[in-house]
């Protein structure tokens, strides 16, 4: 786990804190007056470097909002977000765009691959756009870890859903971001392809020292993580280390039961 701290990353100073990202008293409200919805209610959260964190909770509990705020995709109403030592809340648009491009990786439910580019071109596209050269040794390692070596010249429509999402994961990893965020990254995949992608995410944490935050509502997906954070009504209400699918499922039933009786 500690290997992540010593891996030199793009734009890095060489030393990194053990916390990759943190939120302090984060509030996110939508609308105003009678239609005001508080999606995040004074959330304090630390995301450990080199760990795989899952964010769980019922629909509408604020999972996506928390991820978007941590990733600088959405502004906050109150509180602070830090990526390593950089406070991202309050950054001007241009700086924020740069920070997202250079330091954060994203994997979404829709794979968002360009259909006219082959797998390899899709993987290196963000770096090509940023005018950065991929480190060939790193790129090889990522491609090997994803197990796409034979398919690099294939276009997305020549790949299965699982393979396409592995390309999207490789694309996120290739630029060596400090942290990768995924919102239901296996939500569009059948269970076999989902397991393939989750296994690969797990491997990228164990072998490449990647930090990953994944929003999911699936206990099996959450069981691949090192730690699960549970959200309810915009607050972190519980957490679990070394989760198993059974333990996560039990915990969720517990929340459901409490929700119904209160
Ligand atoms: N753009 C928006 N405008 C208004 N309300 C929103 C918006 N996005 C999310 N919400 C509300 O914020 C709450 C949390 O949403 P979300 O973070 O998407 O939950 P989850 O991902 O856990 O399902 C919900 O009540 C949702 O309706
Ligand atoms: Mg969501």
What is the spatial distance between Cα 6 and Cα 110, in angstroms, rounded to a whole number?
Answer: 33
The answer to whether residues 162 and 189 touch, using CB atoms and an 8 Å cutoff, is yes
Q: What is the CATH number of the domain that holds 93?
A: 3.40.50.300
For residue 76, which of 30, 25, 28 has the smallest C-alpha distance?
28
Cα 127 to ligand 2 centre (Å): 28
**If you write DSSP's letter for every residue of 175-195 in order, what string do you get?**
T--SEEEEESTTTTS-HHHHH
Per-residue pLDDT of the chain (262 residues; tens, 9 = 90+): 433 344 444 444 455 679 999 999 999 999 999 999 999 999 999 999 999 999 999 999 999 999 999 999 999 999 999 999 999 998 999 999 999 988 999 998 787 899 999 999 999 998 888 888 888 988 988 888 777 878 999 999 999 888 898 899 899 988 889 999 999 988 888 888 889 889 989 988 998 899 999 999 999 999 999 999 999 999 999 999 999 999 999 988 877 766 554 4
Cα 38 to ligand 2 centre (Å): 15
State residue 15's pLDDT score. 59
Instruction: Report the nearest-CA residue for atom 11 of ligand 1.
Output: 39
Please state the three-class secondary structure of 127-140 as a single string.
HHHHCCCCCHHHHH
Return the exposure string of 150-174: e unless at least 16 CB atoms fall within 10 Å of the residue's CB, then b: ebbebbbeebebbbbbbbbbbbbbb
Left if phi > 0, otherwise alpha if psi is -120 to 50, otherwise beta: which for 57? left
**Does the CB atom of residue 63 touch ligand 1 within 6 A?**
yes
The answer to whether residues 215 and 67 touch, using CB atoms and an 8 Å cutoff, is yes
The residue range of the domain holding 232 is 3-261
State residue 5's pLDDT score. 40
- Tell which atom from ligand 1 comes closest to the C-alpha of 57: 22
What is the spatial distance between Cα 235 and Cα 219, in angstroms, rounded to a whole number?
Answer: 19
Structural domain tally of the chain?
A: 1
């Amino acid at each position: 786990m500690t290997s992540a701290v010593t891996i030199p990353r793009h734009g890095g100073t060489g030393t990194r804190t053990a916390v990759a990202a943190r939120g302090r008293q984060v509030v996110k409200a939508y609308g105003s007056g009678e239609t005001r919805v508080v999606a995040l209610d004074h959330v304090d959260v630390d995301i450990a470097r080199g760990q795989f964190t899952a964010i769980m909770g019922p629909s509408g509990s604020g999972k996506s909002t928390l991820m978007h705020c941590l990733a600088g995709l959405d502004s906050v109403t109150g509180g602070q977000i830090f990526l390593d030592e950089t406070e991202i809340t309050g950054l001007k648009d241009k700086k924020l765009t740069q920070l997202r491009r250079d330091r954060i990786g994203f994997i979404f439910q829709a794979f968002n691959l360009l259909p006219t580019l082959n797998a390899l071109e899709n993987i290196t596209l963000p770096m090509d756009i940023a005018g950065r050269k991929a480190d060939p040794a790193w790129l090889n390692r990522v491609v090997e870890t994803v197990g796409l070596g034979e398919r690099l010249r294939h276009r997305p429509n020549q790949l299965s859903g699982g393979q396409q999402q592995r390309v999207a994961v490789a694309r996120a990893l290739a630029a060596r971001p400090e942290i990768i965020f995924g919102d239901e990254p296996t939500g569009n995949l059948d269970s076999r392809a989902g397991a393939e992608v989750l296994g690969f995410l797990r491997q990228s944490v164990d072998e490449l020292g990647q930090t990953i935050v994944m929003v999911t509502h699936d206990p099996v997906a959450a069981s691949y993580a090192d730690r699960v954070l549970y959200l309810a009504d915009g607050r972190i209400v519980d957490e679990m280390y070394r989760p198993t699918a059974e333990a996560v499922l039990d915990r969720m039933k517990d929340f459901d039961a409490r929700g119904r009786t209160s």
